[in-house]
Structure formats: C-alpha cells, structure tokens
Amino acid sequence: MEVKFKDKTTGLMHFNVMGRPGKIEEQYPDGSMQLFYLRPNGSLAKRQSFRKDKTLKSETLPALDNTAITTVYGADGKTVVRTEQQWQDGAVETVTFRQDGRTPELRYKTLDKEGNKATLTTYDEAGKVVTVENIERDGNNGSCGDPMCHECGGEMSISMTRYRADGSVWVKGQWNFSY
C-alpha cells in the first residue's frame, strides 16, 4: 500500500503472507528514509533511518528490560557515534564514543524521568574512567518550573570523584549550589 503526503513524503506498507503489516518505508523529500520492521503482533522489531546517500544514520531496537536502544552512526554509516537507551519510566542513558566507534568518551545517565538525579562519567583515550559526577537537583520547581530559578529557589548538589590512570582515587569533591 502506498501513501503520498502533502509534504511530498511517501509511505509504503508491505504486508506479510498473513495480510498483516510487516514493513513500512517512509521516503522524505530530501532523499532520506526510514524503515520500520514489525513483528507479527504489530509491535516494532526495528527502526532504521538512512541519510539521502543511503548510509545508515541510526537504528532503534527494543531491548529485554522494557527499553529501547538507539545507535547513531557516523557519516560512513558504520562507525558508532552514540548510543541512547531509554526506559519506559523516562530515564535515559547516553554514551558517546571516540572516533574508533568502540571506546567510550562520556556517559550520561538520568536516574529519574525528570532528570533531577543523574550521573556523568568521562573516560580517557583508552576507555578508563577519569571522572564520575553525581548530580542532584532540587525538585522544587516553584511557579516558573525551573529548579534553579533565582526567584523560585532550588538547590543542586554535585559530588565528583577523579581517578588516576591506575584506577585509584585522586581527588573527591562536593559542591552545593542554592538560591
């Protein structure tokens, strides 16, 4: 089945032998496209996004623990630039990689859906942990919705641990900010 949208996007739905949707293609006016692969029950098995030169831009797969993992690729369509894992409760973990596509550069994980608790980890060129920062923001959103607003109050606490090359603790610090 083919669908043509006003914005010149074209959708093409492929059906399996049982007459159920199995794959959906979306082709955009700029030449990029997305493919959605569906399971027999209609749930998403995989989503792939392609650039206009047909290289793979990203791929999203459901994971076992009620999460979705998106892998973002570099211009060659093969080198991993970043992974993003999202839980149903809204928590997110993002890992960016160095140019080799395997060695982590930094990891940011929210521990709640509001992002009030998070951990930021940085890595050296070999992939060893350099710093770990635990960030906590006050959930006091006041009238404007910003926990760090000068008028509404709010607090933020950061505890940081920096490591030596051998993995031993070099320095620890704690910072508290409030208005």
Which residues lie closer than 8 Å to 129 by C-beta, 6 or more apart? 121, 122, 123, 163, 167
In angstroms, rounded to a whole number, what is the distance separating the alpha carbons of residues 62 and 112?
A: 20
pLDDT of residue 113: 73
pLDDT, residue 148, reads: 57
pLDDT tens track for 43-91: 889 999 999 999 999 999 988 777 899 999 999 999 999 999 998 888 8
Tell me: pLDDT of 12 over 70: yes
Q: Does residue 96 contact residue 82 with C-beta atoms inside 8 Å?
A: yes
Specify whether the CB–CB gap between 56 and 73 falls below 8 A: yes
Question: Can you read off the two tokens belonging to residue 148?
Answer: 């760090």
The pLDDT assigned to 94 comes to 96
CA proximity to 126, closest of 103, 109, 144: 103
Written as six digits, the tokens of 48 are 């792939």
Between CA 112 and CA 66 the distance in angstroms is 15
Question: Residue 153: pLDDT band by 50, 70, 90 thresholds?
Answer: low
Examine the pLDDT at 143 and tell me if it is beyond 60: no
**Distance in angstroms (rounded) separating the CA atoms of residues 56 and 77:** 4
Using alpha carbons, list the distances in angstroms from residue 36 to 32, 33, 48, 109, 133: 14, 10, 7, 27, 37
Would you state the structure tokens that stand for residue 15, as one six-digit string? 């059906």
- What is the average pLDDT across 162-171? 93
pLDDT score recorded for residue 150: 59
Q: Cα–Cα distance between 110 and 147 in angstroms, integer? A: 16
Distance CA 138, CA 115 (A): 10
Residue 156 — pLDDT band, cuts 50, 70, 90?
confident
